[in-house]
Amino acid sequence: MTVRRFHAEIGTALVTGAVGATAAIGATSLGYGWEESGPQPGYFPFYVGLILIAASIWNLVSAVAAHRQASADASAGGEAEEPFLGREHLDRIGRFMGAMVVFVIATLFLGIYVGSTGYIAYSAWRQGKYRPISALAMGAGFAVSLYVIFEVIFRIPLLKGPIEPLLGIY
């Protein structure tokens, strides 16, 4: 599978347009007119939302135009449209994102220390081809330095899970 720039442009324009629409619709419930004390709370988000929709439509149209032009060039023997993301790229990004999402979910349940230890150890082990022991040491070392910097030096509590209290760390 290859994602072409055209697809990405269209997708982005649709999403930004949707954001504008959401904001404009959300603003209508606040009132977007004027009252005695100036603009109502929804005035600003409503009109900014409209501008965002308009700009998104413009980008959508110019993406389609550029695509037409490129297709025409391609059939005329000219340069074809550049691929946006090849299979290989998608693969790499997907794997990286996947690990990151798992890290976030693990952090929510187990806390930042356990989450980052696992995440770093896993990456070093699977992608970095380190021995499991040294990979785990890297992860744990990282978590310990986080603890020292944040909780000991700056006294900022980080997210903890069910495991830390068992070790006497709150």
| Site residues for other proteins per CB under 8 A | 5, 8-9, 12, 16, 19-20, 23, 26-27, 30, 34, 37-42, 44-45, 48-49, 51-52, 55-56, 58-59, 62, 84-85, 89, 92-93, 96-97, 99-101, 103-104, 107-108, 112, 115-116, 119-120, 123-124, 126-130, 138, 142, 146, 150, 154-159, 170
Label residues 60-87 b or e (16+ Cβ within 10 Å = b).
Answer: beebeeebeebeeeeeeeeeeeeeebee
Pick between residue 71 and residue 145 the one whose CB is nearest to other proteins.
Answer: 145
Q: What gap in Å lies between CA 160 and CA 140, rounded to an integer?
A: 15
Q: Which is nearer to other proteins, 75 or 129 (CB)?
A: 129
Residue 57 Cβ vs other proteins, minimum distance, rounded to whole Å: 9
The one-letter amino acid code at 169 reads I
CB of 100 to other proteins, least distance (A): 6
CB nearer to other proteins: pick between 75 and 136? 136
- Residues 164, 111: contact at Cβ < 8 Å? yes
Select 47 or 75, whichever has its Cβ closest to other proteins.
47
Collapse the DSSP code of 129 into the 3-class scheme (helix H, G, I; strand E, B; otherwise coil) and give the result: coil
Structural tokens at position 113: 């220390």
Q: CB of 129: closest distance to other proteins in angstroms? A: 8
**DSSP letter for each residue of 81-98:** PPEEE-HHHHHHHHHHHH
